[in-house]
Chains A and B, each alone.
Chain A
Amino acid sequence: MGQSKHMTIAALLATSFFTIPVSALAQDKILRIGMTAADIPRTLGQPDQGFEGNRFTGMTIYDSLTAWDLTKEDEASVVIPSLATSWAVNPDDTTKWIFNLRDDVTFHDGSPLNAEAIVWNVQKVLDEDAPHFDASQVGVTASRMPTLRSARAIDEFTVELTTSQPDSFLPINLTNLFIASPAHWQAKFDETGDSEAAWAAFAADPSGSGPFRVTNFAARERLELAANKDYWNPDRTPKLDGVVLVPLPEANARTAALLSGQVDWIEAPAPDAIAQIEARGFTIYANPQPHVWPWQLSFAEGSPWLDKRVRHAANLCFDRDELSILLGGFMGSPKGTVDPTHPWWGNPSFDIRYDLDEAQRLMSEAGFSADNPLKVKVQTSASGSGQMQPIPMNEYLQQALRECYFDVELDVLEWNTLFTNWRRGAYDESANGAHAINVTFATMDPFFAMVRFTSTQTFPPVSNNWGHFGNDEFDALIEDARTTFEDDARDAALARLHARIVEEAPFVWVAHDAGPRAMSSRVTGVVQPKSWFIDIAPMDIE
């Protein structure tokens, strides 16, 4: 019965995209999604394509030890238990963590999830001597869990993880480690006799423990998922029968596919088509994401941003509501790196707002005027992941900041070049004399959101503290947050760090991306959280 049902769903999925009339799809509950990615994100456990990969081939096919709570749209998304029911640091040795696992989880291939499976998944990216070590998965995993070093099974459902230094961020980092089935990989290895070939075979026919399982993989064209009706979490057991993921990288092509009924949901519709999409009865979902579109400022010798009054003036000098209009309303106005509803907010004394008079006063006090403007040079890109619309947005800032006696020069680079320069720092030749760099970033994790931009340990080329911002005070705040292991206390420490960051303003905070997506009104159960992610599992289609 189960087999024939799966076969039926697979057959339906295979013919659904573009061919099945809407009425038939309504009965079969197949949700078709047009992604912005140009290829199917990798399916072997650690997706590529940034967080779009995690969203569509990570959280759907796999589970992780910890996960994001995606059930609320008006509160910050926080970490909750997933495959691990609880965790705690060893008070005698804070580099060791104990994670207690669920005992009722099986992978799609029927093998059980246990502590050995977690150890195996840590080894796949950290143990070069392990037969299943896969270099291609290391980059997107190891950098998101920078301190994790090893794993050891204590008993069948208890695992010990070891970090290189005390690190209270580990449970947050672990949302990025998706747990693949060791037994299924071993079967592929037995067939192919080669680790690389086994991973390639695994990617085409993967096995995780998530709410959906792969039924058909056509590279660069489509991925078909069928519901895992035996999923361990009743709140996330799919109501849908299946999902079809289609890469449609061009915004107008995505929009046309939605309007012509070929897909039910598209990511990032063409901004100038939003009105038409809404007029045709589709729903636009958007919510400010944990994302910052900034100017990251240089604190190198001679930088004009060394004067705090100038940094504050730039943050006060432009009207974010006006900028939002330019972006069709799909932008959040930042009050800092995280928003005031976030546990890491911390009530900074500097209020980021539009206050032209105050900005002009600060600039006058700093010795600048309309006749004596401050020249600043900003490196940006013409496009790029998360960069929203960098040229119009920077040109808006260039124009707005002129009111506050800034003379802004834009240095536009190709995206990959800018991204590489980000790691080289303001002192490097690649900065080309720039005083700020415009590279957007995600803020879900404290290291990515704050630490890498404010620690003296993360100056280039170690990490992304491009502007060389940092001092003993910030190092101490970071150390305090990293070594505080009780969740609320850790969040309080991070809030203190965030408050000081906002007060010192090493950024001009310009926008949060609102991540618009358009869906057919037939899709129900949609919760658009304040997150890069969205949970497909509870959705339904009428």
Chain B
Amino acid sequence: MLGYSLRRIIYTAPVLFGVSVVCFALVHISPGDPLISILPADASVELQNRLRTLYGFDRSYPEQFILWLGRALQGDLGTSIATGRPVTTEVMRAVGNTLMLAAVATAIGFVLGCFFGFVAGYFSNSPLDKAASAAAVFGVSVPHYWLGMVLVIIFSAQLGWLPAAGAGPGGSSQWRFDMVHLSYMVLPAITMSVIPMGIIARTVRALVAEILAQEFVIGLRARGLSEFGVFMHVVKNAAPTALAVMGVQLGYLLGGSILIETVFSWPGTGMLLNSAIFQRDLPLLQGTILVLALFFVVLNMVVDIMQSALDPRIKR
């Protein structure tokens, strides 16, 4: 187990290097001026050149990459061009906020997804299956930013029950797990949970239906095991795949919440990316993408290790 875990950790090193190269290249090959956020269009050529030198954009791409990577390895992702604040601080604060939201959304999605999946799988082809499957298809299909707006219109603008935007009184730095603060998380978390809920439900339904049809389940029943006992066996067999799907979904939610975070003004990585893209703030964009990619890679690694712990055959 330890050897397998170490091997997985070592395998991630080239992936991470590749990620850093792609991240740097993608940001730099896109058109536009990296100093656009601080350099109005009417700035003189002399001023443009002066700032380009001051920010190091006059150096060659390989030189810029090596300098950036060297600093990144020491935990310094540079300084945001637009705000002058350290990128590491900005990104880590946003990651914390997104992680909190994504964890709650994934938990909701996992619980509901498993519930609908098991119901649909156990009562395959019944009206219950149809209803649960419909909920899953809705989750996968509905545009989540649209759902977010509809929820805001109903529960904030019309009913006034829940806040429409933000991360709580005083901002996310003063976050506490009390009712006032949690109320800010309800709408974005529900909106964010519908996709993982749908995907997990569909995956679990297929798994449960497949497992129930296997001979060992018939054998278990033939030996007189209670239905709960059979259920536990099904859960154990379905868990590795469901966990893997949940891990991937959590990874997606960490980086893929631009629309939801923008709709709800949730100060996470999605809003940060949105802002960095529109301001063409290269250090911030690079730093955010890199950190998100790191999370994704590490998350997959952790899920792999967890899967192998649950099902030792995977190690082979």
Name A residues whose Cβ lies closer than 8 Å to a Cβ of B.
14-19, 38-39, 42, 44, 48, 134-136, 138-140, 142-144, 146, 196, 199-200, 203, 216, 218-222, 246-250, 252-253, 255-257, 259-262, 414-417, 419-420, 422-423, 439, 447-448, 452, 461-464
The residues in B between 264 and 289 inclusive whose CB is less than 8 angstroms from any CB of A are: 264-265, 267, 271-272, 274-275, 278-280
Flag if B38 contacts A200 (CB, 8 Å). no
Flag if A221 contacts B267 (CB, 8 Å). yes
Number of interface residues, chain B, beta carbon within 8 A: 61
Q: Which of chain B's residues have a CB closer than 8 A to the CB of A15?
A: 169-170
Flag if B42 contacts A448 (CB, 8 Å). yes
Given A135-B51, A138-B38, A462-B45; 6 other pairs, CB 8 A cutoff? A140-B38, A143-B43, A246-B166, A252-B149, A262-B163, A461-B45
Complex CA gap A439/B170 in Å reads 38
Q: Which of chain A's residues have a CB closer than 8 A to the CB of B156?
A: 256-257, 259-260, 262
Complex CA gap A221/B265 in Å reads 8
Q: Which of A203, A218, A415, A464 contacts B170 (CB 8 A)?
A: A218
Q: Which of chain A's residues have a CB closer than 8 A to the CB of B33?
A: 416, 419-420
Q: Which of B83-91, B119-127, B298-306 contacts A (4 or more CB under 8 A)?
A: B83-91
Tell me whether B32 is interfacial, beta carbon within 8 Å.
Answer: yes
CB proximity of A45 to chain B, nearest CB, Å: 12
Tell me whether B180 is interfacial, beta carbon within 8 Å.
Answer: yes
Contact status of A38 and B278, CB under 8 A, knowing A14-B170, A135-B51: yes
Complex CA gap A99/B149 in Å reads 53
Tell me whether B47 is interfacial, beta carbon within 8 Å.
Answer: yes
Q: Which of B39, B172, B274 contacts A221 (CB 8 A)?
A: B172
Flag if B41 contacts A423 (CB, 8 Å). yes
Contact status of A219 and B160, CB under 8 A, knowing A262-B165, A420-B31: no
4 A-B pairs with least C-beta separation: A218-B171, A416-B32, A221-B171, A139-B38
Q: Is the interface of B mostly helix, strand, loop or mixed?
A: loop
Complex CA gap A262/B155 in Å reads 13
Q: Which of chain B's residues have a CB closer than 8 A to the CB of A253?
A: 152, 164-165, 262-265
Contact status of A143 and B163, CB under 8 A, knowing A39-B82, A200-B84, A220-B271: no
Which residue from chain A places its CB closest to the CB of B157 in the assembled complex? A259
Flag if B263 contacts A17 (CB, 8 Å). no
**Could you pull out 28 A-B pairs where Cβ atoms are within 8 angstroms?**
A17-B166, A17-B169, A18-B168, A19-B180, A38-B279, A42-B82, A135-B51, A135-B54, A136-B84, A139-B40, A140-B38, A142-B44, A142-B47, A146-B42, A200-B85, A219-B83, A221-B171, A247-B265, A253-B265, A255-B157, A256-B152, A260-B160, A260-B164, A261-B160, A414-B31, A416-B36, A417-B31, A461-B45
Flag if A248 contacts B50 (CB, 8 Å). no
Tell me whether B81 is interfacial, beta carbon within 8 Å.
Answer: yes
Name B residues whose Cβ lies closer than 8 Å to a Cβ of A.
31-33, 35-45, 47, 50-51, 54-55, 79, 81-86, 90, 93-94, 149, 152-153, 156-157, 160, 163-174, 180, 184, 262-265, 267, 271-272, 274-275, 278-280
Q: Which of chain B's residues have a CB closer than 8 A to the CB of A143?
A: 39-40, 42-44, 47
CB proximity of A18 to chain B, nearest CB, Å: 5
CB proximity of B84 to chain A, nearest CB, Å: 5
CB proximity of B149 to chain A, nearest CB, Å: 5
Q: Which of chain B's residues have a CB closer than 8 A to the CB of A17?
A: 166, 169-170
CB proximity of B162 to chain A, nearest CB, Å: 9
CB proximity of A38 to chain B, nearest CB, Å: 4
Flag if B171 contacts A146 (CB, 8 Å). no
Q: Which of chain A's residues have a CB closer than 8 A to the CB of B37?
A: 48
Q: Which of A134, A146, A249, A261 contacts B44 (CB 8 A)?
A: A146
Residue of B31, B47, B86, B171 with highest tally of chain A CB at under 10 A: B171
